[in-house]
Amino acid sequence: MKITSATIYPLSIPLIEPMKMSREMVVDAKTVLLCLSDEEGRTGWGEASVAPLMTGETLASLVGSIQYLVEQAKSWDWVEPKEFARDFAKILYGNASAKSCFEMALLDLFTQKQSLPLWRYLRQTNNLPDIENSTPIPLLRMLGGSFDKELADAKSFRSLGFRHWKIKIGSLSLKEDLQRVEILSNLLEGDVVSVDANGAMSLSDAIQFCESKEASKLAFAEQLIAADLSIEDFVLLKKRSPIPIGLDESIHGEPEIEEFIKAKALDGASLKLIKTGGVLPAFKAAQILLDKHLQMNLACKVAETSLSGAATASIGFAIGNVPWGFSMSNQYLQFDICDQPLVAKQGHLDASQLSANGIGVIPNTDRVKSAIAKGHTVIQC
């Protein structure tokens, strides 16, 4: 499979409302779309989002890395997806987000050529039995904003069938966060309720949080302390916490998963394509977690379109088990770039939405062009 042309789209799509994280306020989604064409006239799409505090990428750096990767890769013959990661490494060191974007577009082309939806290809290539349809994936809904809004959203989205939740903590005092968590946990009792501090807590505050009665009903606590702390700090937190400990910023792929498993420092992890370097590495990481009887959350960065959502969801449909839910973030965008965006049905995503060959969704090029980020242009390679 040869790449004959490529188009890079740097985008900025406003969120429905600003989202307050522990260390930043997100008002728009800065993400990059890549469209590849092959020698037989097919087009394949990839996406990767900006995450300065997670991957170190800005919009400019991500566009530059993708452009370099594409320009070098056009002379290659792309035959076997299992070799993609090794081949990428021959072209560009690191840069997991750019590689994820390119791999996604290549997989879209490859699975279209194979006349297979991506999630079915993942089952086939990993020797999993073929199934007619996969189990719907539970969608995880984030709660944020004013406390009154959090309460209203929890009630509203619960009535729509959502049963997995993430409460953002770390930007308020420990006392205030504990009060919020207790009230929301009681309101959503019986659901899978988690918190995420994005590494903003000190180790002492994290331990105090986990040991408190206010947090006792949580299903897990994600990335309470900073990723650059010592492994011993994570071990201590895990030992002291009666709540399962999940990691996000600390986990970029297999090496970190293996390290934290060996240290007995986690109960599960959040997998994002921009961290692992693509769908195939993320699938392998998910298999390791489940084989070790650990938990898993699949997630898109806030916020990615249905394109990245479909690629990420394909992992869940292929594996058939996402115990900590799927953070599908196109639901926070003012608009999606696909004519048929992924939508929640009773708080779940159904595999029937990804029945088409390839990734399963197709961006509307005119809509993509309308979302070009200020100061950036479409790049033809």
Q: Are residues 12 and 33 in the same domain?
A: yes
**What pLDDT, on the 0 to 100 scale, is given for residue 8?**
98
Give the tokens for residue 259.
């390290």
Residue 298 domain-assigned?
Answer: yes
Q: Are residues 111 and 25 in the same domain?
A: yes
pLDDT along the chain (381 residues), means of 10: 96 87 77 96 96 90 95 91 91 94 97 96 92 91 91 97 96 96 97 97 98 98 97 98 98 96 98 97 96 96 94 96 95 94 96 96 97 96 91
Residue 344 domain-assigned?
Answer: yes
Q: Are residues 350 and 368 in the same domain?
A: no
**What pLDDT, on the 0 to 100 scale, is given for residue 144?**
83
Number of domains in the chain: 2
Residue 247 domain-assigned?
Answer: yes
Q: Are residues 343 and 369 in the same domain?
A: no
**What pLDDT, on the 0 to 100 scale, is given for residue 98?**
96
Q: Are residues 171 and 286 in the same domain?
A: yes
CATH number at residue 94: 3.30.390.10
Closest CA to 236 of 200, 211, 270, 269: 211
**What pLDDT, on the 0 to 100 scale, is given for residue 303?**
85
**What pLDDT, on the 0 to 100 scale, is given for residue 23?**
67
Structural domain span for residue 154: 137-354
**What pLDDT, on the 0 to 100 scale, is given for residue 132?**
80
**What pLDDT, on the 0 to 100 scale, is given for residue 238?**
98
Q: Are residues 251 and 347 in the same domain?
A: yes
**What pLDDT, on the 0 to 100 scale, is given for residue 22?**
59
Q: Count the helix, strand and coil residues of the chain and give each as a percent rounded to the nearest 5.
A: 40, 25, 35
* pTM (global) more than 0.85: yes
Closest CA to 166 of 180, 174, 175: 180
CATH number at residue 199: 3.20.20.120
Residue 124 domain-assigned?
Answer: no
Residue 281 domain-assigned?
Answer: yes
**What pLDDT, on the 0 to 100 scale, is given for residue 270?**
97
Q: Are residues 286 and 210 in the same domain?
A: yes
DSSP 246-313: EESTT--SHHHHHHHHHHT--SEEEE-HHHHTSHHHHHHHHHHHHHTT-EEEEE--TT--HHHHHHHH
